[in-house]
């Protein structure tokens, strides 16, 4: 135990003296979260639209006013030809052509269903989805008897019209709430997998490990000395990240923080074990970095951070059982946003524990003080 104390002291001195790394380690959560909030603004403002109002009634005028009053849409031009609207869309003057049919007011008065056509520039699918969502809610708000008829138009595509089935509409911030837990997982995975593993390879590269290897230091002491500092730092970062998310972006935290940090501790052992394992099979930091990045990208892309796991092919979905990042992202989202307790996440925690129990001893076993 005493030896470990000296090793920890050494590691922390070195980490806090490393002027290149230290600021990055502690700025990383701030930068990642702030950038995310800017990059992931799913809010639209002042979308120009072209109006084709065949009805010219009071009701149609009220609807158009309501569109403009929200601040999301801006009436750019109007005419009585739908083709004009499409033409304006092609020249990027407008992104939406709103068509109100002749019998609009009449049908509403008779208590029948009226329809309104939204022709949306769908070259940028995400924005098109948002325009559709906003448009729909405005129309529905105006009268529940109007059936919005959405046409997503992809102008680059020569086939003309393509309808994107957008089943969601999502005014701005929900996306951040959904992303933050995942981003935090990536953050602490990077610290866990890269820093501790890389640290060992670095000592091998500069030769200092040899001086340690001729001492009676035990393997487990060395490994704990390497893993524990970054384990602590990663949990600390998670704490900072959660605080920024909660106070800075209003991401709710409805679950138990103790539970989350407990699971994060297990998860970190898994990724640190992987980093350690990589360090035992590589000789240079370059090799270790390359392998770690490869794994990391696979884990992230297949981990449900950007795209839901449910939309992957079945074989790929089955492979996620080996992906610790996928499990922890799911745990983070359920605990943070849905307030899931131990009962709801225990099967995933079980998987993580099994991984930690397998990978960690395997890497300690592979780590050798002497070359055979």
Partner 1 sequence: MIKAEKLTRKFGDFTAVDHISFEVGAGEIFGFLGANGAGKTTAMRMLTGLLVPTEGEATVAGYDVYEQPEQIKKRIGYMSQKFSLYEDLTVRENIRLYGGIYDLGDQQIKQKSDELVNMLGMKELQNKMIGSLPLGWKQKLAFSVALLHEPDIVFLDEPTGGVDPITRRQFWEQIYKVAEEGTTVFVTTHYMDEAEYCDRVSIMVDGNIDALDTPAGLKEQFDADDIEEVFIRLARGAERGE
Residues of this chain that interact with partner 1 (CB under 8 A) are: 2-3, 5-7, 9-10, 13-14, 17-18, 206-217, 369-372
Residue closer to partner 1 (CB basis): 6 or 365: 6
CA distances (Å), origin 204, targets 126, 200, 208, 284: 48, 6, 6, 8
Question: What is the smallest separation between the CB atom of 218 and partner 1, expressed in angstroms?
Answer: 8
Residue closer to partner 1 (CB basis): 71 or 207: 207
Sheet containing 96-100, strands listed edge to edge, beginning at the edge strand earlier in sequence? 73-79, 47-53, 96-100, 114-121, 146-153
Question: What is the smallest separation between the CB atom of 226 and partner 1, expressed in angstroms?
Answer: 14
If 0-12 CB within 10 Å is exposed, 13-18 middle and 19+ buried, where does residue 47 land? buried
CA distances (Å), origin 208, targets 16, 205, 212: 19, 8, 7
Q: How far apart are CA 213 and CA 369, in angstroms?
A: 5
Residue closer to partner 1 (CB basis): 3 or 77: 3
Q: Which two tokens stand for residue 263?
A: 């699971």
Question: What is the smallest separation between the CB atom of 222 and partner 1, expressed in angstroms?
Answer: 10
Question: What is the smallest separation between the CB atom of 227 and partner 1, expressed in angstroms?
Answer: 17
* Strands 73-79 and 47-53, sheet pairing: parallel
Q: Which two tokens stand for residue 35?
A: 């950038």
Sign of CA dihedral 248, 251, 256, 260: negative
Residue closer to partner 1 (CB basis): 83 or 210: 210
Q: Please, which residues have CB within 8 angstroms of residue 44's CB and are 6 or more apart in sequence?
A: 72, 127, 130, 131, 134
Question: What is the smallest separation between the CB atom of 174 and partner 1, expressed in angstroms?
Answer: 46
Question: What is the smallest separation between the CB atom of 213 and partner 1, expressed in angstroms?
Answer: 6
Q: Which two tokens stand for residue 291?
A: 């392998």
Q: How far apart are CA 294 and CA 298, in angstroms?
A: 6
Question: What is the smallest separation between the CB atom of 23 and partner 1, expressed in angstroms?
Answer: 16
Question: What is the smallest separation between the CB atom of 11 and partner 1, expressed in angstroms?
Answer: 10
Residue closer to partner 1 (CB basis): 84 or 205: 205
Question: What is the smallest separation between the CB atom of 203 and partner 1, expressed in angstroms?
Answer: 9
Tell me the longest C-alpha to C-alpha distance in the chain: 93
Q: How far apart are CA 164 and CA 323, in angstroms?
A: 31
Strand intervals (E) in 101-248:
114-121, 146-153
Q: Please, which residues have CB within 8 angstroms of residue 19's CB and are 6 or more apart in sequence?
A: none
Question: What is the smallest separation between the CB atom of 194 and partner 1, expressed in angstroms?
Answer: 19
Alpha helix ranges (H) inside 143-216: 174-190, 196-206, 208-213
Residue closer to partner 1 (CB basis): 139 or 223: 223
Task: Give, rounded to a whole angstrom, the gap between the first and last alpha carbons of the chain.
Answer: 28
Residue closer to partner 1 (CB basis): 210 or 283: 210
Q: Report DSSP state, residue 161.
A: B
Residue closer to partner 1 (CB basis): 78 or 221: 221
Residue closer to partner 1 (CB basis): 2 or 45: 2
Residue closer to partner 1 (CB basis): 90 or 218: 218
């Amino acid at each position: 135990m005493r030896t470990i104390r000296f090793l920890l002291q050494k590691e922390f001195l070195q980490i806090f003296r490393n002027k290149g790394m230290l600021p990055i380690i502690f700025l990383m959560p701030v930068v990642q979260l702030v950038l995310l909030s800017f990059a992931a603004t799913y809010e639209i403002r002042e979308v120009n639209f072209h109006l084709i109002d065949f009805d010219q009634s009071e009701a149609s005028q009220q609807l158009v006013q309501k569109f403009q009053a929200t601040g999301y849409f801006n009436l750019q031009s109007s005419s009585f030809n739908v083709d004009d609207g499409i033409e304006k869309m092609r020249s990027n003057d407008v992104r939406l052509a709103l068509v109100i049919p002749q019998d609009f007011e009449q049908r509403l008065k008779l208590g029948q269903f009226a329809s309104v056509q939204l022709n949306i520039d769908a070259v940028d699918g995400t924005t098109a989805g948002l325009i559709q969502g906003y448009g729909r809610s405005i129309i529905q708000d105006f009268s529940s008897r109007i059936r919005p008829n959405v046409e997503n138009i992809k102008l680059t595509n020569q086939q003309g019209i393509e309808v994107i089935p957008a089943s969601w509409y999502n005014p701005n911030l929900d996306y951040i709430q959904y992303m933050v837990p995942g981003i935090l997982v990536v953050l602490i995975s990077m610290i866990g997998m890269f820093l501790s593993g890389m640290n060992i390879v670095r000592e091998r590269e500069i030769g200092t490990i040899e001086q340690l290897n001729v001492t009676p230091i035990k393997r487990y002491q060395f490994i704990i000395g390497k893993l524990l500092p970054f384990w602590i730092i990663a949990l600390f970062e998670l704490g900072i990240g959660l605080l920024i998310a909660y106070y800075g972006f209003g991401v709710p935290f409805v679950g138990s923080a103790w539970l989350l940090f407990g699971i994060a501790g297990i998860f970190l052992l898994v990724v640190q074990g992987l980093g350690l394992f990589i360090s035992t099979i590589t000789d240079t930091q370059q090799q270790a970095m390359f392998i770690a990045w490869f794994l990391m990208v696979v884990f992230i892309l297949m981990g449900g951070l950007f795209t839901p796991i449910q939309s992957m092919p079945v074989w790929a979905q089955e492979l996620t059982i080996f992906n610790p990042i996928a499990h922890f992202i799911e745990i983070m989202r359920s605990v943070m946003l849905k307030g899931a307790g131990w009962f709801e996440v225990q099967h995933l925690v079980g998987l993580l524990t099994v991984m930690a129990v397998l990978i960690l001893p395997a890497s300690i076993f592979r780590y050798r003080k002497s070359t055979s």
